[in-house]
Structure 1
């Protein structure tokens, strides 16, 4: 009994250390610098059997490879000027209106998050939003908050949109296209709720008409200038998305399509000397990938030592509307307590016996729920750091008020939309 309690305590402490260090990042060390030793400790101490370590590595390996390819693809698209062109077109479409700019940010962030993952929205689009708002003379707060919120909320649509989706997708048994079909209505509903709340919450920041001339000027240029559209990058992204669906339909891992898209972009960039092999490797964010693997092992140790049984008692069974709502709420609460990556690692296997609808409800909770607190997702933490780099302080009270207004409503209505989709389309 004492040995079991010690293993439970060791696994729990290891998870807490990993999560706290991921949030605080002592000495500015990467998350993997703490996660890898923690994983080693739980393995050596016997808190997780070696067989379970191999199982987690086998389960997470393709997910990590997929994520690496998507990160490389997004960075190379940025090098091609895709995000700069998007920012310029946002400013032109806004025509001096902060309301129109907010709509443009919502549309663009939703599409980029869905197609290129939330990391692209946080790391690549958020700086563009800052620059666009500054060029227009608009207050940046509503637009920057939109990028942060949508990096979570708009990541519901595709398996590739979020690492949490990739982790859950492996246990749903769904094809790529069926996943997208079931999540389309919840995705649209959640974004619509966010947009409606944002319009009211930031009404004072969105009232000033800034004039069309400001919006049409790109970095000191003239209103007649048009941004060059990086067609090669756009076509490659579109072909990669189509490849995901085709690969899934034939039972192949979508990671192959992601790797193909990244390879095409990399070969072109290297041939034109727009990048280097070292930069491509860095864009894959290898320390973060190692963190994901190590975190998976630590979470598995916690599940093996009691968390799985505890969550099994509180997680509802079935896919009735009350059960889906309960599952989504449990997932949201757990995401805000221990971060959404450990939450989905813990909950997705437990929800799988109830069918893919229950796993998708978990995703609603772990993707929308993190907008309630800073620590709900790593994307929010990274978004906050980027805001600080642009000398824009994120007020905790304002962040929390906005989260309380958006998160419960978006979670409840998107879960209702999921229930409708399951009845209309079938699991």
Structure 2
């Protein structure tokens, strides 16, 4: 989430984001440089050489595309203004999560989930799937990544279970389970108006693909992590964690406010900021934190990376990517066409990130009906599980997990992705095709 419905309506009304003038003559460097820099930035985000922040590579790349004229200063400024709500939302949610951690919310929630799982890692995985799917669908994927992932850390430690299956579930479901509602993901918000559907019919058409995708993911996880879902010797219990009632009330009000704000056309960033401000003021008055600690929890280098990535991607799009995709976009609404659209969207999401992918593809798919637009959403929401760089949620999840001392190996991540993504995406597209045939648009 992070941007309101207004921008999505602008896209739907005009058909597509206005493209700037293409470079004329032999201006080869400005045309090729953005694509090269994008590959460098995404590669550095995945590999993180010397554990350097992603922004170390992305910010200079953004400056270079502006300095060389690959993107005009006006268009760079416009991209920054468009991404401003996204960045503001991320910052507010990160601060909120850190303050909740200080209040003991994650420890208390982890203890509760551990008791409900009764020491069974398989049952715990089921609970994580249910929780992550519900939170992502109703409260946005950011809530799953930022709020639920630390809960899973605490819960697996309490149960004595191996953390990997449950942590990977948070990452995958933050993307896969964001299919259900227009407010579940920023990609959905940006494409919602282009579908021409009402809120209810959008949810009705996506309900079956959402349920099928989650079911396939669960089956893959049970098989892939079979060796990790065995009971281990739990640590000595240290008693029930005290329930942080005030912090939980603030979190509950904040999460509920996301849906209300989106329906009212209010940017969810303001709701997240209000929740963070309430906890911050309380913690400062009680001298449980400091202004410097609050600023650090906003992860400013990561926010700079998001902004810089958007500018680099905009430069790539400005130099013909949207025109190229317009020539290969299928024009039908049959099963084969929907599979092709979803596959194209997944490929593009893993190449340039799912946010720019939906901005490019949704207007191209809209003239062919709601079905192809919904297929684009299947591709840009499920497809990003294939690589770290596919979505901001996955990059943010990786940052949270590694900061807490858990290694995320590229090989294991890729093997799980290869097992889960093709099967999940194919099954979801077939389910969408069936839903379109039964419900209609």
Instruction: Report the TM range for the smaller structure's normalisation.
Output: 0.7 to 0.9
Q: Does 1:221 align with 2:242?
A: no
Q: Does 1:59 align with 2:82?
A: yes
Aligned to 1:129: 152
Cα deviation code 1:33-88 (max 9, x no counterpart): 32222222222222223342233233222222222222222322222222212211
Query: In 2 relative to 1, CA 16–167 (structure 1 residues): closer, same or farther, beyond 3 Å?
Result: farther
Aligned to 2:71: 48
Cα deviation code 1:137-164 (max 9, x no counterpart): 4344433332332233234445665565
Aligned to 2:215: 192
Aligned to 2:5: none
Contact 1:70 1:117 survives alignment (8 Å): no
For residue 302 of structure 1, report the CA deviation from its aligned partner.
Answer: 0.9
Structure 1 residue ranges without an equivalent (≥5): none
For residue 423 of structure 1, report the CA deviation from its aligned partner.
Answer: 6.9
Query: In 2 relative to 1, CA 127–66 (structure 1 residues): closer, same or farther, beyond 3 Å?
Result: closer
Query: In 2 relative to 1, CA 322–236 (structure 1 residues): closer, same or farther, beyond 3 Å?
Result: farther
Q: How far apart in 2 are the matches of 1:324 and 1:196?
A: 24
Aligned to 2:267: 253
Q: How far apart in 2 are the matches of 1:80 and 1:170?
A: 39
Q: Does 1:273 align with 2:287?
A: yes
Query: In 2 relative to 1, CA 358–314 (structure 1 residues): closer, same or farther, beyond 3 Å?
Result: same
For residue 322 of structure 1, report the CA deviation from its aligned partner.
Answer: 4.0
For residue 249 of structure 1, report the CA deviation from its aligned partner.
Answer: 3.2
Contact 2:46 2:388 survives alignment (8 Å): no
Matches within 5 A, 1:368-387: 368-377=382-391, 379-380=393-394, 383=397
Q: Does 1:287 align with 2:310?
A: no
SS of 2:287's equivalent in the other structure is coil
Aligned to 1:234: 248
SS of 2:27's equivalent in the other structure is helix
Query: In 2 relative to 1, CA 209–296 (structure 1 residues): closer, same or farther, beyond 3 Å?
Result: closer
For residue 268 of structure 1, report the CA deviation from its aligned partner.
Answer: 2.5
Question: For structure 1, which segment, 253-262 or 296-305, has the greater mean C-alpha deviation from structure 2 after superposition?
Answer: 253-262
For residue 189 of structure 1, report the CA deviation from its aligned partner.
Answer: 2.6
Q: How far apart in 1 are the matches of 2:281 and 2:437?
A: 45
Structure 2 residue ranges without an equivalent (≥5): 1-23
Query: In 2 relative to 1, CA 402–250 (structure 1 residues): closer, same or farther, beyond 3 Å?
Result: closer
Aligned to 2:346: 332
SS of 2:381's equivalent in the other structure is helix
For residue 308 of structure 1, report the CA deviation from its aligned partner.
Answer: 1.4
| Of 114, 117, 125, the match for 1:94 | 117
Contact 1:296 1:345 survives alignment (8 Å): no
Matches within 5 A, 1:100-249: 100-114=123-137, 118=141, 121-122=144-145, 125-126=148-149, 128-157=151-180, 162=185, 164-165=187-188, 183-206=206-229, 208=230, 214=234, 220-222=237-239, 225=240, 227-249=241-263
SS of 2:161's equivalent in the other structure is coil
Query: In 2 relative to 1, CA 251–341 (structure 1 residues): closer, same or farther, beyond 3 Å?
Result: closer
Query: In 2 relative to 1, CA 403–271 (structure 1 residues): closer, same or farther, beyond 3 Å?
Result: same
Q: Please tell me the root mean square deviation across aligned C-alpha atoms, in Å.
A: 3.5
Aligned to 1:299: 313
Aligned to 2:99: 76
For residue 115 of structure 1, report the CA deviation from its aligned partner.
Answer: 5.9
For residue 399 of structure 1, report the CA deviation from its aligned partner.
Answer: 3.8
Cα deviation code 1:357-406 (max 9, x no counterpart): 54443332223223234443455456556666777655655544432332
SS of 1:244's equivalent in the other structure is helix
Query: In 2 relative to 1, CA 84–24 (structure 1 residues): closer, same or farther, beyond 3 Å?
Result: same
Question: For structure 1, which segment, 402-411 or 143-152, has the greater mean C-alpha deviation from structure 2 after superposition?
Answer: 143-152
Cα deviation code 1:201-258 (max 9, x no counterpart): 333433x4568xx4xx7x6325xx4x33333333323323333333333333333323
Cα deviation code 1:261-313 (max 9, x no counterpart): 22223222323333222222222222222222222221111111121111112
Query: In 2 relative to 1, CA 240–422 (structure 1 residues): closer, same or farther, beyond 3 Å?
Result: farther
Aligned to 1:361: 375
What number of residue pairs does the alignment pair up?
A: 418
